[in-house]
Amino acid sequence: MTLPTLGLVGLGKIARDQHIPAIAATGLFQLAAVVSPDGATTDGAPTFRSQAEMLAALPGLDAVALCTPPAVRHGLTVEALRAGKHVLIEKPPAATLSELHDLVAEAQTAGRTLFTAWHSRFNPAVAETRARLADADIRGVAITWKEDVRRWHPGQDWIFAAGGFGVFDPGINALSILTAILPAPVFVRAAELHVPANRDTPIAATLEMAAAPTGAPGTAIGRVTADFDFLQQGEQSWSIAIDTADGRLDLTHGGTRLTVDGVPALAEPDTEYQRIYRHFHRLIADGASDVDARPLSLVADACLVGRWRSTAAFDW
Amino acid sequence: MTLPTLGLVGLGKIARDQHIPAIAATGLFQLAAVVSPDGATTDGAPTFRSQAEMLAALPGLDAVALCTPPAVRHGLTVEALRAGKHVLIEKPPAATLSELHDLVAEAQTAGRTLFTAWHSRFNPAVAETRARLADADIRGVAITWKEDVRRWHPGQDWIFAAGGFGVFDPGINALSILTAILPAPVFVRAAELHVPANRDTPIAATLEMAAAPTGAPGTAIGRVTADFDFLQQGEQSWSIAIDTADGRLDLTHGGTRLTVDGVPALAEPDTEYQRIYRHFHRLIADGASDVDARPLSLVADACLVGRWRSTAAFDW
């Protein structure tokens, strides 16, 4: 059987650490080419300098996975869809909501699969949490997403440049989990955004959210908060604590582990990218798309209704 | 023939100046009640203190028009839709995009008409401009939306409070026209937002935008900019200048007048609210909704990718 062929666009850390191993491990796609503007290479696949060159050289290519910075994803996705390719996009799927909505229309016109891969959702512990919350009386949700930007993004100035998302770059992962596990829509009511005096995006943010009334008795959801920090020293925290009438769930380690009332309930090896490629393969087979704008909407909403505050300058 | 009955929720300036006269002039709805938390009244319709009281007292009410501040529109719209009412919402239709997307789902579930009334679009000069631009070679679009907040919103502190939109409160009208007249999607590429040191929302903003490549030859759209200012002295400006290969269009006076190469082409009396109520009536008859998130998306996108700058404190 011939595997569908895939071109990987952008050969940075996430492509090397996650995408290439996951493509190999799942064996559902043949990595037919990579695109790297600076000429970087990987074993076993030819390298092109631009997506346009790859599309011209390999007209039979079936799909593209985009691992570039967010600012260029819209243009590359339009180019790939119009060339008849299925497209997987790393998170966040576009620089703005207007771009993302346009991609939905482009995918429909092209009749091709578009998949916005919010990777943090693809952990078994997230699916287990969603199942446990489906009928739960949820009294409160507290997101604590605190990491040291100097350790995880050393010298990456783009993250603090306008449009670079700042602390929302990791924080949007938490919001992608939140929207996946809650049984009701959630809205930003208020936010505080702290921007270093010499930068343009937040280095810390707090969000006050509220979930929609579902109308069903016992399903009202209490306070939902998020605490994002890029200057966390010592222990790093990527956790969501959920208080329910039946006990407390802690989804920790970026959504990979679940404890219930302090007792480990689920901890599987981190295979989220393998699940992503299995899902992409299934979407293509089904002629379907999977586009979710909600995590990006919550970030944009926080920027819209939030209080922007200047804080101490940041240097690496 | 019995007219459909309508309840008007929120009895502020826009309700008195525009909605009540337009409802009377068009004669398509019977104004059956008004809701005013402070007990304000209008001739010919009973007043209720809350929408919930009105819905309980008038179970046969057909439709609701919401003229409240944006922060409470989502909750009131959900309440009205779930009570089986058709809903017209003043601009902006919700406080956040997440809320607006939820309203689309609620309207579908309720099987009722939802109409986000971007009023500035309902001028004949806007329709004429759209028609002229459908196949035009558009070289550039410059929005200039400059007004004196002390004259038009005296003492309205809510507009400068978080979530109050600031200069985007008038600016979103320009963006609602822009998205109506351009034949391609438009995206925010960069923005500068100037917030008074003692306030939370911008008092001035500039946006750099780009329109989507349409793929058709000769339809590329050049630079699109917006210049919003709340401190305009002297002549006020609510204008959009469009340079095309065939000449220059100026849509001025908030979208009510069109000149082509300096020659007046269209100037009709301002009847946008009458057109809004005719459109609402037709949507109900057709069992349709008209919800457009694009103007709000552009504002949120500007907040997301923009540079936030502190400027001089503002006092009335």
Measured distance CA(B275)–CA(B122) in Å, rounded: 6
Closest CB to A304: pick one of B186, B187, B299: B299
- What pLDDT does residue B107 have? 97
Taking alpha carbons only, the member of A272, A196, A197, A211 closest to residue A242 is A211
Q: What is the ipTM of this complex?
A: 0.94
| A14, pLDDT greater than 70 | yes
List, for residues A97-141, the tens digit of each pLDDT value.
Answer: 999 999 999 999 999 999 999 999 999 999 999 999 998 999 999
Q: How many CB pairs under 8 A join A and B?
A: 104
pLDDT band (50, 70, 90) for residue A40? confident
Low-confidence ranges of chain B (pLDDT < 50): 217
Min CA distance, A187 vs chain B (Å)? 6
Beta carbons of B95 and B41 less than 8 angstroms apart = no
Q: Averaged over A227-240, what is the pLDDT?
A: 97
Q: Is B288 helix (H, G, I), strand (E, B) or coil?
A: coil
- What pLDDT does residue A26 have? 97
> What is the CATH architecture of B121-269+301-311?
2-Layer Sandwich (3.30)
Record: fold of A5-117: Rossmann fold (3.40.50)
Inspect the interface and report whether the beta carbons of A190 and B163 lie closer than 8 Å.
yes
- What pLDDT does residue A43 have? 80
Measured distance CA(B181)–CA(B184) in Å, rounded: 9
Closest CB to B98: pick one of A162, A187, A215: A187
Could you tell me the CA-to-CA distances from A124 to A20, A177, A185, A269 in Å, in that order?
21, 12, 22, 9
List, for residues A155-189, the tens digit of each pLDDT value.
Answer: 999 999 999 999 999 999 999 999 999 999 999 99
pLDDT band (50, 70, 90) for residue A50? very high
User: Model-level pTM greater than 0.90?
Assistant: yes
Both tokens of residue B72?
């409470």
pLDDT band (50, 70, 90) for residue A69? confident
State which residue of chain B sits closest to A184, comparing Cα positions. Answer: B102
Could you check whether the bond before residue B196 is cis, i.e. omega within 30 degrees of 0? no
Could you check whether the bond before residue B21 is cis, i.e. omega within 30 degrees of 0? no
Query: DSSP string covering B60-129, please?
Result: T--EEEE-S-GGGHHHHHHHHHHTT-EEEEESS-SSSHHHHHHHHHHHHHHT--EEEE-GGGGSHHHHHH
Min CA distance, B6 vs chain A (Å)? 25
Give me the residue spans of the domains in chain B.
Answer: 5-117, 121-269+301-311
Measured distance CA(B177)–CA(B254) in Å, rounded: 9
Our answer to whether residue A85 is catalytic in this structure is no
Q: Is residue A210 within 8 angstroms of chain B, CB to CB?
A: no
Beta carbons of A115 and A88 less than 8 angstroms apart = yes
- What pLDDT does residue A13 have? 87
Q: Is residue B144 within 8 angstroms of chain A, CB to CB?
A: no
Beta carbons of B203 and B149 less than 8 angstroms apart = yes
Q: Do domains A5-117 and A121-269+301-311 have the same CATH topology?
A: no
- What pLDDT does residue A171 have? 98
Q: Averaged over A190-206, what is the pLDDT?
A: 98
pLDDT higher at A12 or A84: A84
Q: What angle do CA A48, A50, A51 make, to 5 degrees?
A: 95
Q: What angle do CA A32, A36, A39 make, to 5 degrees?
A: 105
Both tokens of residue A25?
């491990």
- What pLDDT does residue B270 have? 76
- What pLDDT does residue B252 have? 96
| A273, pLDDT greater than 80 | yes
Characterise A234 by phi-psi region: left (phi > 0), alpha (psi -120 to 50), beta (else). Answer: left
Taking alpha carbons only, the member of B70, B314, B91, B97 closest to residue B202 is B314
Could you tell me the CA-to-CA distances from B118 to A86, B103, B183, B265, B272 in Å, in that order?
36, 16, 18, 23, 10
